[in-house]
């Protein structure tokens, strides 16, 4: 049985995590089933919320007791104002957000069905990310770890590189990205957590365990892992040179939107707090699973107390398999 004391917030002030990347105004529609062709579909619930990979990860950090800051870009429009206000009210420091004149803020329409699966139609204005500020290790002095997504690659690279120079964890959310983006960012990362679709795209295999081995050989300098939804998480164990696997907690999924982002936010905070990798994966897995039980994207992110309480009743063991 897992002891919650291992996962409680530190007694000293919470750790600070900088998240870099997407900030989007999402419109979520809840439907009985996802469409299979043309026509009209009538939702029975809806919600508008500011989120996105980095934004949702930052919210997870705040919910779990850390200090979350976000560097992202919005347009100089009403949507941008709403995104910044929404995220700020959620406990995220948005002082590093950029307002880009003449650009459209990112928006997305998302359908979520009764099985918790989703269909996403996002729009990102390329003008949002044309200008990139310099980032130095001094700029990161207030943070204990950085987490970047793949939506603003140039700023992500500068942030990862500066974190490396400062000797701080430089974590990459390795989601599906444009050609060459992962290959550009990964060498500057100390930790890479891939989604299964991204891992499959990079390795050509749908087997997460095999993908971890292939990705570890490709990016030998970094901790390498793959998250695979209900199949759990897989990572390369540097001590044993084996692939480790942690099964996912069993939950009734209502909405899987932002589950991966919540995992990444929890992962970054746990690493900043100095947890072991096994503890980090356990905390992150439970946070993501609890999120899936709530409709509304990132708003399902659990508190630290909720995660610790759930971990008391979860006795899943880490298993290992040889790297192939």
| Residues 208, 172: Cα–Cα separation, whole Å | 18
| Residues 185, 312: Cα–Cα separation, whole Å | 37
The full DSSP string for 101-161 is TTPPPEEEEEEE-TTS-EEEEEE--GGGGS------GGGGTT-SEEEE-SSSHHHHHHHHH
More confident: 320 or 83: 83
Can you give the pLDDT at residue 29? 97
Can you give the pLDDT at residue 10? 75
| Residues 272, 16: Cα–Cα separation, whole Å | 8
Q: With pLDDT > 90 as the criterion, what percentage of the chain qualifies?
A: 90
Within the chain, residue ranges assigned H as helices are: 53-63, 78-89, 153-166, 181-185, 196-203, 208-218, 259-272, 277-291, 304-312
Residue range 142-164: mean pLDDT, rounded: 98
pLDDT at 161 over 80: yes
Contact 138, 165 (CB under 8 A): no
Tens of pLDDT, residue by residue over 60-76, are 999 999 999 999 999 99
pLDDT at 1 over 90: no
Q: What is the mean pLDDT of the chain?
A: 94
| Residues 112, 292: Cα–Cα separation, whole Å | 12
| Residues 28, 118: Cα–Cα separation, whole Å | 9
Tens of pLDDT, residue by residue over 92-128, are 999 999 999 999 999 999 999 999 889 999 999 999 9
Residue 11: pLDDT band with limits 50, 70, 90: low
pLDDT at 4 over 50: no
| Residues 220, 238: Cα–Cα separation, whole Å | 10
Task: Give the residue from 323, 306, 317 showing the smallest Cα distance to 4.
Answer: 306
Instruction: Output the CA torsion 270→285→231→53 (10° steps).
Output: -80
């Amino acid at each position: 049985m897992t002891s919650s004391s291992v996962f409680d917030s530190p007694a000293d002030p919470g750790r600070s995590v900088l998240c870099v990347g997407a900030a989007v105004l999402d419109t979520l529609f809840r439907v009985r089933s996802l469409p299979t062709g043309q026509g009209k579909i009538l939702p029975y619930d809806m919600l508008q919320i500011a989120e996105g990979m980095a934004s949702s990860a930052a919210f997870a950090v705040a919910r779990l007791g850390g200090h979350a800051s976000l560097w992202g870009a919005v347009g100089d429009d009403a949507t941008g104002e709403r995104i910044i206000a929404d995220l700020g009210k959620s406990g995220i420091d948005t002082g590093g957000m950029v307002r880009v004149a003449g650009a459209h803020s990112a928006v997305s329409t998302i359908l979520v069905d009764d099985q918790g699966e989703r269909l996403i139609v996002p729009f990102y204005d390329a003008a949002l990310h044309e200008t990139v500020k310099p980032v130095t290790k001094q700029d990161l002095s207030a943070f204990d770890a950085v987490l970047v997504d793949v939506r603003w690659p140039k700023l992500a690279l500068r942030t990862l590189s500066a974190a490396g120079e400062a000797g701080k964890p430089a974590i990459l959310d390795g989601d599906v990205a444009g050609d060459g983006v992962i290959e550009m960012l990964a060498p500057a990362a100390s930790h890479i957590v891939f989604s299964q679709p991204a891992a499959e795209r990079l390795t050509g295999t749908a087997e997460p365990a095999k993908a971890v081995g292939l990705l570890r050989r490709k990016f030998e300098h970094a901790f390498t892992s793959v998250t695979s939804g209900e199949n759990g998480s897989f990572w390369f164990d540097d001590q044993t040179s084996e692939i480790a696997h942690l099964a996912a907690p069993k939950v009734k999924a209502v909405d899987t939107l932002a589950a991966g982002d919540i995992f990444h936010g929890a992962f970054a905070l746990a690493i900043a707090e100095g947890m072991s990798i096994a503890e980090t994966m356990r905390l992150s897995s439970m946070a993501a699973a609890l999120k899936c039980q709530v409709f509304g994207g990132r708003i399902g992110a659990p508190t630290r107390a909720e995660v610790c309480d759930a971990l008391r009743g979860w006795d899943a063991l880490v298993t290992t398999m040889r790297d192939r």
